[in-house]
Structure 1
Amino acid sequence: MSEITLKGGCLCGAVRYQASGDPQRFYHCHCARCRKSSGTGHASNLFLSNATLIFTHGESLLKRFKVPEAQRFTRQFCSECGSAVARFVPEIDGVMIPAGSLDDPAPIEPQARIFWDSRANWSCDGDSLPRYPEYPQ
């Protein structure tokens, strides 16, 4: 897929972003950290490569939280309403977008459910997406 531009923001509207790049992956992650940070059965994240991220409003309101022992888990959110918003991920040289923060539908469909083996027993299960015990190879 070619480069696209996506816009989104937080629940209260104080933080707004624009991300451009190549949509690569769209996963539902069922790990305990994603469940805790979202308060739901999984987090739905879209990943862009060759990406740029610009905050068009409210950048000073951003807060970040990284689980100290986690290699990859970081959460970026609005300090006013707590909503997760897009963030640049240096480890993958790309942008991770919480799909629910987008203004419009995601440009690609979810591709897999990851960390399936650690999902909550009450979490959704009713589609035919591939399931992986951790990250796909």
Structure 2
Amino acid sequence: MTIHSGSCLCGTVRFEVNGKFDSFYLCYCRRCQKDTGSAHGANLFSQSASIEWISGTTAVTSFTLPGTRHSRSFCKHCGSALPNTQIAGLLVVPAGCLDTDISLLPTARIFTCHQADWSKQPDGVPAFSDLPNKQP
């Protein structure tokens, strides 16, 4: 069985996911942009995997947008996104909270009609493997 481990930024919350992921979506909807403060959400989905919380369960809190199925879980200390089990029968794992590598490539980019113009890869934007020495 495949086991993935993960944690929050401050290390309070640690968990293991046992099983495989069914899909991996990069979501550009406005809700995911607000959730992440970035261009898109990057979430893994599984209907069969289970989660075992290793530590910090009392630090895990969740928010569901009223009137929707849109929910997220996060560490109440550092705010890091964490796996969500708010939708019955579905485990949603933010890809960035995993400490182990995943071999699954994104299944699709969804809600691209909401993609922010600044997140589209323009020609001529420099790329750095680390923080650049000089700021523009």
Instruction: Please give the range of the TM-score, normalised by the shorter of the 2 chains.
Output: 0.7 to 0.9
- Tell me, which stretches of 5 or more residues in structure 2 are unaligned? 123-136
1:68-107 → structure 2 map (5 Å cutoff)? 68-70=66-68, 72-91=69-88, 93-107=89-103
Which of the pair has more CA radius of gyration?
A: 2
Per-residue CA deviations over 1:22-63 (Å, capped at 9, x if unaligned) read 211011000001000100000101112212111100000111
1:7-26 → structure 2 map (5 Å cutoff)? 7-26=5-24
Larger relative strand fraction:
1
Partner of 1:135: none
Structure 1 distance, partners of 2:81, 2:119, is 20
Q: For residue 77 of structure 1, what is the amino acid of its counterpart? A: F
- Tell me, which stretches of 5 or more residues in structure 1 are unaligned? 127-137
TM (norm. structure 1) is 0.83
SS in structure 2 at match of 1:22: coil
Partner of 1:62: 60
1:52 and 1:94 in contact (8 A); partners too: no
SS in structure 2 at match of 1:55: strand
Alignment coverage as a number of residue pairs: 122
1:7 and 1:19 in contact (8 A); partners too: yes
SS in structure 2 at match of 1:37: helix
1:53 and 1:87 in contact (8 A); partners too: no
SS in structure 1 at match of 2:119: coil
2:21 and 2:49 in contact (8 A); partners too: no
TM (norm. structure 2) is 0.83
